[in-house]
Each structure stands twice: as C-alpha cells, then as structure tokens.
Amino acid sequence: MRIKKTTIKVFDMTCSSCEQKIKKEIQKLPGLIWIRINFAKSLVEVQYDSQLCSEKKLIESIEKCGYSTKRNNFSSIIGILIVVLIIFFLVIFLGLVKEPKNNINISKPIMENGVQVIKMNADYSGYSPNAFYVQKNIPVKLIIDGKNLNYCNNEIVFSSINVERKLESRENIVEFTPANGDINFSCWMGMIRGYIKVVDDINDTSDLKASDIIPNDVDL
C-alpha cells in the first residue's frame, strides 16, 4: 500500500448537497482511505492508496458529477466585460466625464417677433448645445428636441427661475424672461447640466470664449 494525500480545487459547489454528491461518487473508487469536502472553500481532500487509485480518477469522478476542477476562463472574461460595460454606462448616463470648457458649444438666440429663440437637443449624451447667451429683459423661447430620453434626462430643471418641465420625445417648449443673474439648468438628477449666460447686450458677446463666461465652479 502506498498512501497518498491530495487536495483538489473544485468549482461550482454551492451547498452540502454538492458535497454529498461528490463524496458518494468518489467512494465508488477502490483504495479510498478518507475524504473531506468543503463546498465553502471549493476543496476536496482525499487520502488514498496510489496503487489502486490516482488523482486522475478522482478528478474524473468529480467531473462526472457535473463539477469543474478548472476555472472557467470564459466566465472570467464575461465578468470583466460586464464591469467595463457598467463603467461605460456610468460615464454616458451620469456624466462622470466632464467636457473641457474650451470645447463647450455656446449658442446665441435668433430674434423672432421680439422673442429670443434658442434650440437644444436632449439625449442620452447630454444637452447640445449646453450653453447659451441671452439678453436680459427680453422673452426667451427655448425649444428642446427630446431624443433617446431615459430615466435620467426625461425632466429638465431650471432651479434659479423655478421652472421644471417633463420632456417628451418631440419638441418641448420652455418660455421665460431673464432678469439679472445667469441661469443653470440640469436633468432632475443633477447629472446632466447646462448654462445660460444673461448679458446686457447680446451684440457684445462675439469675442467671448466659454472660459470667459462660465464660472470655474460650474461643471458642464
């Protein structure tokens, strides 16, 4: 008799029933001295007579029960891909990546019948344009084209002028008259943001850059 002890890593065991299933199958092999199984640690420990049994036969018995003694690399790859996708959607929907201020697209209004008309798209990537000039004391008509709306961007909030609007997948109209003070706006979660710069004269804004008009503490 040649006594040998081996420890085998077994994946996919979830309960004591799994232990009993493997134990019952291994006990069919000749030369078995004792067996200890711990599903929580994914381990099978066996002492046996190596003249009558082998580690290969032990592994075959375990795999015959439907359990694996090798880590599933495909499952690991899938797990990594899921993490990458979660990070991607956090970036897209929660706005974790901030656009540099010098790349912000600022739009000016078009005057129609004494009203400043500005247009903006709202979709999963945010607001475009996401910054505007308007002249104070002249009515503003903001036309928001709702596209690819989701749980986060389906409502827009102008907290400084106390305006909230539920967005639909069509053109949505928000009307107000700006006074003194700039206007911040965002989705209802505060993750997607925009900015309206209120100026005395819209004609004096041609040489201004985004970094000149948007405060450093405002993240868009």
14: which residues sit within 8 A by CB, 6+ positions away?
39
What residue segments make up the domains of the chain, in order of their start? 3-64, 101-213
Task: Grade residue 97 by pLDDT with cuts at 50, 70 and 90.
Answer: very low
Lowest mean pLDDT among 26-35, 104-113, 211-220: 211-220
pLDDT of residue 136: 93
Q: What is 101-213's CATH number?
A: 2.60.40.420
Per-residue pLDDT, averaged over 126-134, amounts to 91
Lowest mean pLDDT among 63-67, 73-77, 104-108, 173-177: 73-77
Would you identify the CATH topology of the domain 3-64?
Answer: Alpha-Beta Plaits (3.30.70)
Q: What does the pLDDT look like over 40-81, one tens digit per residue?
A: 999 999 999 999 999 999 999 999 998 888 765 555 667 678
pTM over 0.85, yes/no: no
CA distance 212 to 194: 16
Is pLDDT of 204 > 90? Answer: no
Q: How many CB atoms lie within 10 A of CB 126?
A: 20
Is pLDDT of 216 > 70? Answer: no
